Structure 1
Amino acid sequence: MPVRADTDISTRPTVLFVDDESMLLSSLQRLLRREPFTILLAVSAREAMEIMARTPVDVLVVDLQMPDIDGYELLSRVEVLHPQTVCLVMSAVADKEKVEEVVRHRHVFKFIAKPIHPDVLKRVIRDSVCRRSGGVEPPETIISPEHLMLCKEHLSKTEFTQAFNEKYVC
């Protein structure tokens, strides 16, 4: 069942968190209760798609590892059905190749590694809302994943890893 942190969804950007860990979702709701967002929560990809079918979502924050439909499939569906939604991935996936695969997915704005510092999460959500509303993105988010992948060919492995982490991994 979706949970709202506030009721005025007409004037506030909507952020939907999708994670199968309900305790984490409750913590996120408490953490962001004073932020200028409408917070929606879903414990599955199916529930997230149901919410998005009836409520416009500005920012979607998805865990990758979920039962039934995983975060990869959800991102693919959102890219087709809701291309205006800014997508973030928040996951404990430690595999660097998996992270790069997610970031290469052109509909993913940022990868947020769990656990995340609350201030960093708030900043990333604000940056995402800014991106969704057509505002100017902060300088550190202007480089696209495609551009960074092209840079990989011209940088040493250490330089690429550092640049990748600075631009896409929170």
Structure 2
Amino acid sequence: MNPLFLALSLLSFDATAPVPVAALRIDGDASTFVVQVTGGLHAGYQIAIDCTEKCASPVHYRETTSDTPLGLFSRDQNDLLFSTWSTGSAYRVMVWSVAGDTVRKVVELSSRGTPNFVSDAYGRPTIETYEGESVAVPLRRVRWTFVNGHFARSVSKGS
């Protein structure tokens, strides 16, 4: 191997940059965001949401948590970023709006059972969470439907 090439490669490598445990790119109509979760169990995890292209102004959002990341996704509609986390005894769902040049947390939910991400009859994003005193008793399903910029709660019949 060419020693000069190796030296240049090592110079461009940043050993201090955190390695993401999860990452996602969201291409919206007005801008592009990159989402990264970095960190580890003992230090906690940080979610970083940065506008990287077509940004009207710089956007750098950071949030740290002791929960463990399970996933990030976007449904390519409504400029929403969904994430799931494990808290040990429950799941946590966080959703952000990443539109234009702003990042805004839309909702943070807890669920005793695995949350479901579905659409209602009108195609609106809906999150189903499960509530109860413990997992030993039947859990009650709660639907959260995205309406007018926020998630509205409704308890499902028969739950």
- The TM-score bracket by the shorter chain reads under 0.3
Structure of larger gyration radius: 2
Q: TM-score, normalised by structure 2?
A: 0.27
Greater length-normalized contact order (CA 8 Å, ≥ 6 residues apart)? 1
Q: TM-score, normalised by structure 1?
A: 0.26
Q: Between Structure 1 and Structure 2, which shows a larger proportion of strand residues? A: 2
